[in-house]
A and B are shown apart, each in its own frame.
Chain A
């Protein structure tokens, strides 16, 4: 289970410091998919970065644990080895490092950190071939440097490709729908759904309900002003789509 308890965080230093999470509590059991929706500036991406250990965020209060392990105490690579995966809203270019080299280095680094054996080259190539076929990724793309010259849609596909190769215990998908056309959205969602499993949790961050038509969440949380202000079933996403955030935010919490 991913368990966030009364999490508060700031970004920036001194007078510039700005509160971005303010007593956020959330539980996502393994086996479930939860969605976080919220208006711009609500702290959705911040939460993703905070959980994965990006520099620049200061946790002032609260805890974040995965299966009881304190995430906030770990380096980003340790969190990854524990099973935390982030599909980035804006995937980053890694010039000169081909996708295949990169993904294999990542998988083996995680395995090494967990004391497991490395994946063999034939095993890796076989798996990469299967996953790329499912995601309709051209094998030429896997030879190119990570994200360099990729279109927005290609970048998002590659994030899901990495997720399916790494098979994390807990995946955070940050606006994975942005930049995808309808066909690509379907392909990517199919990939995500294929990974649904009793021993894997997922947190899907999105602005819009359309992704949730494909990836049906068990629960929907509304994040505003740095905390969860409302939790419900998939119907909450539809209510948001109809009434907008103002409608929900207007209701007494």
Chain B
């Protein structure tokens, strides 16, 4: 197939889409990859006419893919005991020495992806990873509780595009703490992290996303929980020209639980989108979701959260979704769509969604004690954001709090 023929699948492809099609055309044939890429081609780069992407228009934002000239300077450092797996935009680098209970398998072929039809950016990544001559897909098996954190460093050598994928299978009773450090470096990047948690398995995921205004990124996680499995996710995002952090979580066994905590801090010209979809596909599962944002003038925050509780299998679901955002200045933008889709009748589901400004009486109280207005605002906002980061992995929690404090102090100057 020539590039020209491929082009016909997307109506009037943009320059960026043509570049992606060219990349796909240059890869060896693989049925998994072809299926995923076909899904991507149904929509092309997601755009505002797709309901789930109406506030994050990748097609309009990405005219062509080029190497970013700017880099974000914010990054996490792994703790001394962490096992660091680095994805450089082309391949994974896995250390020789790995913690006991952790096996890494390098995949040189495409892998199928659940929910692929609903995830065009993840479909793109699945369509462009899994190649003979590079190792851009890893599978990690966790066979027992691993107490050293696994630090996934997604930082790319300046590139037009980067696509990477990693999957964790956590065996019965095993546990793992994963930290993802997404510092960008590619004009367009899309990564997929998958967690398959078997009975009673436990995983935590702590994520930092930073980038420049010349980058667009989609970071997708797909999480499956068997009975009594536990998952805890904590994310801090500063955004990029476009940044979409999407989590799809599905309960397949009873009495599993998950918490999804996130904070977004997009500066002027930055965009952060936290989207999540939780399927309560088994009885008596518990979800706690807290998303907080603070947005200055010219910044854009998006929250889309959905809990789906089917009638037949979702009984005794206990789920709570909270989104709270602060507009720090005039000209800040926050878009929020919390959705509860509940068909089961014996459930406890709640949601709350607020966007507002700092409490004037609290600010006055602090100033009366001698704290200057800018510092009072910073203290209040920091405390507000910090609540969503409490659950972060202890080895990077202070660094995440420090990064949010630095950001908020800069905004207040």
Chain A contacts to B: CB under 8 angstroms: 52-55, 75-77, 79-81, 85-86, 88, 91-97, 102-103, 105-107, 109-110, 113, 145, 162, 166
In the assembled complex, which residues on chain B have CB atoms less than 8 Å from the CB atom of A76? 364, 367-368
Given known pairs A75-B373, A77-B373, A109-B375, the reply for A94 and B380 (CB within 8 Å) is: yes
CB atoms of B369 and A92 under 8 A apart: no
Q: Looking at the complex, which one of A54, A96, A166 makes contact with B369 (CB distance below 8 Å)?
A: A166
Given known pairs A80-B367, A102-B369, the reply for A95 and B375 (CB within 8 Å) is: no
Cβ-closest chain B residue relative to A92 = B365
In the assembled complex, which residues on chain A have CB atoms less than 8 Å from the CB atom of B371? 77, 105-106, 109
Q: Looking at the complex, which one of B362, B367, B382, B386 makes contact with A77 (CB distance below 8 Å)?
A: B367
User: Could you give 26 example pairs across A and B, Cβ below 8 Å?
Assistant: A53-B367, A75-B372, A77-B367, A77-B368, A77-B370, A79-B368, A85-B369, A91-B365, A92-B359, A92-B361, A92-B362, A93-B362, A94-B379, A95-B384, A96-B384, A97-B380, A102-B379, A105-B375, A106-B366, A107-B370, A109-B369, A109-B370, A109-B371, A110-B369, A113-B370, A166-B370
CB atoms of B362 and A96 under 8 A apart: no
> Closest CB-CB distance, A216 to chain B, in whole Å?
26
CB atoms of B368 and A80 under 8 A apart: yes
> Closest CB-CB distance, B346 to chain A, in whole Å?
32
> Closest CB-CB distance, A22 to chain B, in whole Å?
24
CA distance A52 to B361 in the complex (A): 13
Cβ-closest chain B residue relative to A90 = B361
CB atoms of B383 and A96 under 8 A apart: yes
Taken residue by residue from 344 to 384, chain B's Cβ proximity to chain A (1 for < 8 Å, 0 otherwise) reads as 00000000000000011110111111111101000110111
B57 within 8 A of A: no
B387 within 8 A of A: yes
CB atoms of A97 and B369 under 8 A apart: no
Given known pairs A77-B371, A109-B375, the reply for A88 and B383 (CB within 8 Å) is: no
> Closest CB-CB distance, A78 to chain B, in whole Å?
9
In the assembled complex, which residues on chain B have CB atoms less than 8 Å from the CB atom of A162? 369
> Closest CB-CB distance, B157 to chain A, in whole Å?
39
CB atoms of B372 and A109 under 8 A apart: yes
In the assembled complex, which residues on chain B have CB atoms less than 8 Å from the CB atom of A85? 368-369
Number of A-B contacts (CB under 8 A): 79
Size of interface on B: residues with Cβ below 8 Å to A: 22
> Closest CB-CB distance, B387 to chain A, in whole Å?
6
CB atoms of B379 and A97 under 8 A apart: yes
Pick the most buried of A53, A54, A91: most chain B CB atoms within 10 A of its CB: A54
Cβ-closest chain B residue relative to A105 = B371
CA distance A107 to B375 in the complex (A): 13
CA distance A106 to B366 in the complex (A): 8
Cβ-closest chain A residue relative to B384 = A96
> Closest CB-CB distance, A104 to chain B, in whole Å?
11
Q: Looking at the complex, which one of A91, A106, A145 makes contact with B370 (CB distance below 8 Å)?
A: A106
Given known pairs A75-B373, A76-B368, A106-B369, the reply for A94 and B387 (CB within 8 Å) is: no
In the assembled complex, which residues on chain B have CB atoms less than 8 Å from the CB atom of A75? 367, 372-373
Given known pairs A55-B360, A92-B362, A94-B366, the reply for A77 and B372 (CB within 8 Å) is: yes
CB atoms of A110 and B365 under 8 A apart: no
Given known pairs A105-B375, A109-B375, the reply for A54 and B364 (CB within 8 Å) is: yes
Taken residue by residue from 374 to 405, chain B's Cβ proximity to chain A (1 for < 8 Å, 0 otherwise) reads as 01000110111011000000000000000000
CB atoms of B368 and A86 under 8 A apart: yes
In the assembled complex, which residues on chain B have CB atoms less than 8 Å from the CB atom of A145? 383
> Closest CB-CB distance, A234 to chain B, in whole Å?
29
> Closest CB-CB distance, A142 to chain B, in whole Å?
15
CB atoms of B368 and A97 under 8 A apart: no
In the assembled complex, which residues on chain A have CB atoms less than 8 Å from the CB atom of B364? 54-55, 76, 92
